[in-house]
Amino acid sequence: MVQKGQERLRIVQQFFVTVDFNGIVMFEPHLLCAFYGGHIDSGTNLFQRFTTTEEGDEVLQKGIVIPILGINDGNYRVLVRYSHEVSPVEKGIILENSSFPLNVERRLVLADLSVLREWEEETGWQQVDGPKGRYSVTVRGFRFVQEGIVSDCGYEFVLNLVDDLPKRTADLEKDMQVLTLP
């Protein structure tokens, strides 16, 4: 069933993210800046603030940031789709982490986690198309192996439009590695 607003995004979006700081982040830039009074100075280490104060829990619960943490540096394919869309990587899914709240007021972007370590507006950001709204998001990791070698891997953000922002049940300590074989 297609919920209100979902008819505007019917194709899976694909991105390629080069990870240099052990993670990927999807976030709503307007809400993140608003959280800090409307402006974030270039060079600010938001990652340190998120991991050493309550600010990290707050931005997660408000649906401003969704991180994939503790992954190997490398190149990843990242897909963003609605929950009613068929996953093109379904056969390669090896892990899942659910649920993250997401609130989109203006726009949504995807980037290497390093953007939170040294804030530089618009640097390395990739625009995610889609309507504004509240979502419950599942992050799924996929990996395809051919002849003992990882031939393709990455992550899928699965967006489910909801009326009210859900409580986060996703585990930030979950092992999200997809690049290496066990």
pTM for the full predicted model: 0.92
Please tell me the predicted confidence (pLDDT) of residue 152. Answer: 96
pLDDT on residue 11 = 67
Looking at residue 6, what DSSP letter applies? G
Neighbours of 97 (CB within 10 A): 22
3-state SS assignment for residue 2: coil
Query: Would residue 111 be called left, alpha or beta, if left means φ above 0 and alpha means ψ between -120 and 50 degrees?
Result: beta
Is 113:34 a contact under the CB 8 Å cutoff? no
The H-or-E segment that residue 115 falls in is: helix 114-117
Residue pair 38/79 in contact (Cβ under 8 Å)? The answer is no
Pairing of strands 74-82, 149-162: parallel
Strands 126-128 and 108-112: antiparallel
The owner of tokens 């979950």 is 174
Looking at residue 181, its pLDDT comes to 81
Give the mean pLDDT of the chain: 93
**pLDDT tens string 60-110:** 999 999 999 999 999 999 999 999 999 999 999 999 999 999 999 999 999
Q: Just give the CATH number of 6-162.
A: 2.60.34.30
Residues in the chain with pLDDT values less than 50: 1-7, 9
Segments making up each domain of the chain, as ranges: 6-162
